[in-house]
Amino acid sequence: MKTWAISDIHGCFHSFLSLLNKMDFTFEDKLFVLGDIIDRWPYSRELVDYLMSMKNCTPLMGNHEEMMLSCLENDKYFYLWCSVGGQETLESFNVGHPCELDEKYINWFGELHIYVTYGKHVLSHAGVDLNQPYPFKMTDEKREYILWNRDVQRDFSGKYILVIGHTPLDVELIKDSMEEEVICIDGGCVFDGQLVAFCLDTHELLSVPLHEYDIPKNV
């Protein structure tokens, strides 16, 4: 049994399946998906349906899921979200607005974890400021940091290993960070990079390129 983390799939469903195959992933293994599941590429619904069916998967919130949910509360966010990949998600679900989504999807997105811990590992989309007092006591400010931050705090005196996505990196740079306190596993698959899987037990890193089936025919 192994425990893995993948981040920033962004609707690249076939790339995700290809990576699971490379991982030899089974029902005995466990997977954390560190947010930005949706948007940008065409297969968000297929990906969400698949993740919903996985009993051994814990999905987390990313800033793209947060933007989509914000549209349910205030329409001022709608055009911004559409401009950064939300339109592709709407087309995938065959709806014109997030409020038209089936209730099961709205509930699923709303229940996504903000962060999780696994041993010394702290997993989130964009980081947790572990140098703050009571870093896991959630506030609006801490939630924004966890979902949107680009300037990750370091130096945890060996107490934690922070595993995040959000900021695309070349896979070689990710490999070089395997023994550091902050490990970013966003390989920029959506930007023609790699989709990356990181084993929390062994610090093994696997990756696959963007699958040709995930690329829209008009691109």
Say if 117 falls within a structural domain.
Answer: yes
Q: Rounded to two decimals, what is the model's pTM?
A: 0.95
Q: What is the structure's pLDDT at 109?
A: 98
With 70 as the cut, is the pLDDT of residue 219 above it? no
Say if 219 falls within a structural domain.
Answer: no
Specify the number of domains making up the chain.
1
The boundaries of the domain holding residue 159 are 3-214
pLDDT category, 31, cuts 50, 70, 90?
very high
With 70 as the cut, is the pLDDT of residue 69 above it? yes
Residue type, 153: Q
Say if 29 falls within a structural domain.
Answer: yes
Angle between helices 63-73 and 103-110 (to 10 degrees): 120
Say if 103 falls within a structural domain.
Answer: yes
With 70 as the cut, is the pLDDT of residue 157 above it? no
pLDDT category, 154, cuts 50, 70, 90?
confident
Average confidence score pLDDT of the chain: 95
The answer to whether 163 and 183 have CB atoms below 8 angstroms apart is yes
Q: What is the structure's pLDDT at 35?
A: 98
Say if 99 falls within a structural domain.
Answer: yes
CATH code (residue 31): 3.60.21.10
DSSP string, 183-205: EE---BGGGTSEEEEEETTT--E
Q: What is the structure's pLDDT at 130?
A: 87
Say if 40 falls within a structural domain.
Answer: yes
Q: What is the structure's pLDDT at 151?
A: 84
Residue type, 114: I
pLDDT category, 182, cuts 50, 70, 90?
very high
Q: What is the structure's pLDDT at 179?
A: 87
